[in-house]
Amino acid sequence: MNMRTTNIFKPGFILAIAFFALACSSDDISPENHTHVATVRQKILKKNLAILLLEYQDISAENRAKFPTKSEMEKIIFDKNSPLKKYFDDMSYGQFTYSGDIFGYTTIAVDGMKDGKAAEGTIFLYTDIIRNVPNFDPNKYDAVILVPVNDAGLGQAFAQRTEELLINGKAFRKGWVYCPISVGKLHRDPNAPFSNTIEDKYRSGIPTGENSSEDFENGAFTDFELTFAHELIHNLGVDHAFSRTNGDKPAYEPEIPNNSTKDGYSLMYHEYGDQFDIVGLAAQGFSLNAVYRDFFGWYDNTNTLETINTKGTKTVTIFPINERNKKNAVEIRIPGKPAAPFYEENAFIFNSSLKNQGYFLEVRNAGAWDKALLNAELAGNLEGIMIHQTDGFTSYLLDASPSPNINFVGSNVPDLRDVVLKPNMTYENDDVKLYNVIKNGNGSFTVTVDIK
- Bridge partners (DSSP) listed for residue 266: 260
Task: State yes or no: pLDDT of 136 exceeds 90.
Answer: yes
Q: What's the rounded Cα separation, in Å, for the pair 101 and 118? A: 27
Q: How far apart are the first and last CA of the chain?
A: 37
User: Which strand ranges, in their side-by-side order, compose the sheet holding 312-318?
Assistant: 312-318, 445-451, 432-439, 427-428
> For the chain, what percent of residues have pLDDT higher than 70?
90
pLDDT digits 0-9 by tens, 227-236: 999 999 999 9
Q: What's the rounded Cα separation, in Å, for the pair 333 and 355? A: 8
40-54, 287-301, 341-355: segment of lowest average pLDDT: 341-355
Cβ 215 vs Cβ 204: under 8 Å? yes
pLDDT given for residue 347 in this prediction: 60
Cα 56 to Cα 121, 151, 161, 420, 421: the distances in Å are: 12, 9, 24, 46, 50
Cβ 369 vs Cβ 220: under 8 Å? yes
Cβ 245 vs Cβ 271: under 8 Å? no
pLDDT given for residue 11 in this prediction: 24
Task: State yes or no: pLDDT of 132 exceeds 60.
Answer: yes
pLDDT given for residue 216 in this prediction: 81
Cβ 438 vs Cβ 445: under 8 Å? yes
pLDDT band at 139 (very low <50, low <70, confident <90, very high): very high
> In the chain, where are the structural domains located?
2-202, 240-451
Q: Average the pLDDT over 275-289 and give the result.
A: 95
pLDDT digits 0-9 by tens, 164-221: 999 999 999 899 999 999 999 999 999 999 999 999 999 888 888 888 888 888 779 9
The DSSP annotation for 342-409 comes to T--GGGTB-GGG---SEEEEEB--SSTT-GGGGSTTTGGGGSSBEEEEESSSSEEEE-SS----EEET
Q: What's the rounded Cα separation, in Å, for the pair 142 and 173? A: 9
- Bridge partners (DSSP) listed for residue 107: 55
Q: Average the pLDDT over 290-296 and give the result.
A: 96
Which among 397, 385, 369, 387 has a CA at the least distance from the CA of 319? 385
Q: Is 261 exposed, middle or buried (0-12, 13-18, 19+ CB in 10 A)?
A: middle
Q: Average the pLDDT over 41-64 and give the result.
A: 94
